Structure 1
Amino acid sequence: MVFATRDAEQTAIRLDQAGVRHGGARALQRPVTTAEGTELAPIKFLEISDDDPAAPPNMVPEGRVGAAEDAPHELLDAQTGLAHPNGATGLTECVLCVGDSDLQAAGERYERYLGLPASLDRSTSSFTLDSSRLTLTTPDGLAALLPGERPLTAPGISAYTVEVADLAAAEAHLRAQNVEFGRSADGRPFIPAKAAFGTALVFQQSQETA
């Protein structure tokens, strides 16, 4: 799970001040394809480490978590080849499931990681991140959000949500491909984890095209 940051170096400083262990901001490259061809764009990336020095390097209990400073916006906006038959336009939510007794501690960890307060609601703890969201919940909380779902592992990412340009068209695409899907507690279609390689996939209508 990688969070976007405008400045990886500043994020590293903030994490230091919050007492969060990390591997430091590293310069990397990623391929970006535009009408002019493919080029390697410079990015910066850091990974958060567990508070326990004996834990695997660059790993927290739920796996690899980090922050990335992406390529320049003008280059990202010029990308080609991003269209998908289901109309997906972006990732808007990750749902992280933790043990029943671990929700408060996990919420406090992510408050330190993100520098943001959590919003609490029954068995969930959520963080609003510009146009996306991180939701922490328990196995029972996951089942309440997505009926029939149980986490493959806890802690771990149990579901994620993508926005689509046309929700009705996305549902029609799933039906045409004979893809099994259910309904979330708030009525959104989702592909169960058992049919989506272990992590449920939720679809919602993009607000920009609604």
Structure 2
Amino acid sequence: MGHDTARIHHVGHIVENMAQAISLYERLGFVVPPPSCPAMPRREGAPPEPFGAANTHADFASSFLELATWVKEGDAGSLPADAHLVPLEAPAEVLSLLVERIGKTSVNLAACLDRFQGVHILMFSSPVIDEVAGRLAAAGVRHGGVNTVRRAAPEGAKVPVETVRYLEIDGEGPDARPGTVAEGRVGFVADLDPDVQGARRLDHPNGAVGLVEAMVCVADPELAAVRRRYETYLGRPAQQEGPAHVFDLDGATLKLVPSSRLETALPGERPSALPALVGYTVAVRDLALTRDLLRRNGIPVRETPSGDMFVPADIALGTVVVFRPAT
């Protein structure tokens, strides 16, 4: 019997300064296009100014890395000069809904940054997202239902509009925010359209070809409960690999690591909070060439016990970035 979840769709790195983050990712060897951000006039007759959430992607064939930030009023300088501003123009009743939705996103981003700068978003890819929604509801997992958003497709795609369907899991307890669990925003997204994704820039100087692992660090006493939670989310059991619990996601993995063993898995690392998404792994064509690029760009690296190479969180704006040879 097949699973209704395959791969990791994307992780989201929430940053304080988008211009700084894009500069870092370019030094890491990723191609990152200018970010997009909604814009509105602050007063009648004034030019549109950015507000709310700005984001961009480093894209692969079936996954991507997202960079996102909260643009506070008067903080447009945190965006690169070539940021793409998207003026909000719609009938009054629709416009108010858009502004409300952007406001909620901004609140969530601000809460993430209050906790720590780093990865706060983990989304899994599904070919049958409506079935995922039904399975989760039957298992007692609260979520906001399947949402649909549309955006302009990249130049060269066969369709002018890209449709994105997703759901976010709601946390438990009276203080939980809708669409977030303890470690961040976790949910499911319908598989990327190969034609639309193929029109994006997928060739990265560091040789990265895909997102192959996300790591969640959990307080030791909570590990069993978090494992059960993800077994319910993903509809499959975890396998134990030493102290870690690992989910096989058809070419990618989710790894749950107890906090007492994080430094063994990632030498020198400490979690900023618990539970937390502490890092992600990308597969590269040639690890030696990637290492040389990072060295030339002044990026220090360490090595995991298994021989993977990683950039420490204090260099990579709060998240560990691991590079692994593609198989």
Provide the TM-score with structure 2 as the length reference. Answer: 0.60
Measure the CA separation in 2 of the matches of 1:39 and 1:202: 35
Per the alignment, residue 316 of structure 2 pairs with 196
Of residues 259, 263, 266, the one that matches 1:143 is 263
Q: How does 1:33-48 map to 2 (within 5 A)?
A: 33-35=154-156, 39-48=160-169
Measure the CA separation in 2 of the matches of 1:37 and 1:115: 34
Conserved? CA contact 1:42–1:71, under 8 Å: no
Q: How does 1:153-164 map to 2 (within 5 A)?
A: 153-164=273-284
Per the alignment, residue 23 of structure 1 pairs with 144
Conserved? CA contact 1:24–1:47, under 8 Å: yes
Measure the CA separation in 1 of the matches of 2:157 and 2:193: 16
Measure the CA separation in 2 of the matches of 1:107 and 1:71: 27
Q: How far apart are residue 66 of structure 1 and its match? A: 0.7
Conserved? CA contact 2:159–2:196, under 8 Å: no
Per the alignment, residue 11 of structure 1 pairs with 132
Give the % identical residues. 38
Per the alignment, residue 108 of structure 1 pairs with 228
Q: How far apart are residue 32 of structure 1 and its match? A: 3.8
Of residues 182, 206, 209, the one that matches 1:89 is 209
Deviations 1:181-208 (A, max 9, x none): 000011111001111111111101111x
Shift in CA distance, 51/62, structure 1 to aligned 2, threshold 3 Å:
same
Per the alignment, residue 305 of structure 2 pairs with 185
Per the alignment, residue 61 of structure 1 pairs with 182
Using CA pairs under 8 Å that are at least 6 residues apart, name the structure with larger relative contact order, 1 or 2: 2
AA aligned to 2:243 is: S
> How big is the alpha-carbon RMSD for the aligned residues of Structure 1 and Structure 2?
1.6
AA aligned to 2:307 is: G
Q: How far apart are residue 36 of structure 1 and its match? A: 5.1
Measure the CA separation in 2 of the matches of 1:32 and 1:92: 25
Per the alignment, residue 74 of structure 1 pairs with 195
Conserved? CA contact 1:20–1:51, under 8 Å: no
Per the alignment, residue 63 of structure 2 pairs with none
Q: How far apart are residue 18 of structure 1 and its match? A: 1.2
AA aligned to 2:303 is: R
Q: How does 1:117-132 map to 2 (within 5 A)?
A: 117-132=237-252
Q: How far apart are residue 94 of structure 1 and its match? A: 0.3
Unaligned runs of 5+ in 2: 1-121
Shift in CA distance, 165/152, structure 1 to aligned 2, threshold 3 Å:
same
Conserved? CA contact 1:7–1:69, under 8 Å: yes
Deviations 1:31-60 (A, max 9, x none): 442535883211210000113244111111
Q: How far apart are residue 101 of structure 1 and its match? A: 0.8
Measure the CA separation in 2 of the matches of 1:81 and 1:70: 18
Provide the TM-score with structure 1 as the length reference. Answer: 0.92
Measure the CA separation in 2 of the matches of 1:122 and 1:90: 25
Deviations 1:87-115 (A, max 9, x none): 11110000000112110000000000000
Shift in CA distance, 169/38, structure 1 to aligned 2, threshold 3 Å:
farther
AA aligned to 1:21 is: R
Measure the CA separation in 2 of the matches of 1:157 and 1:12: 23
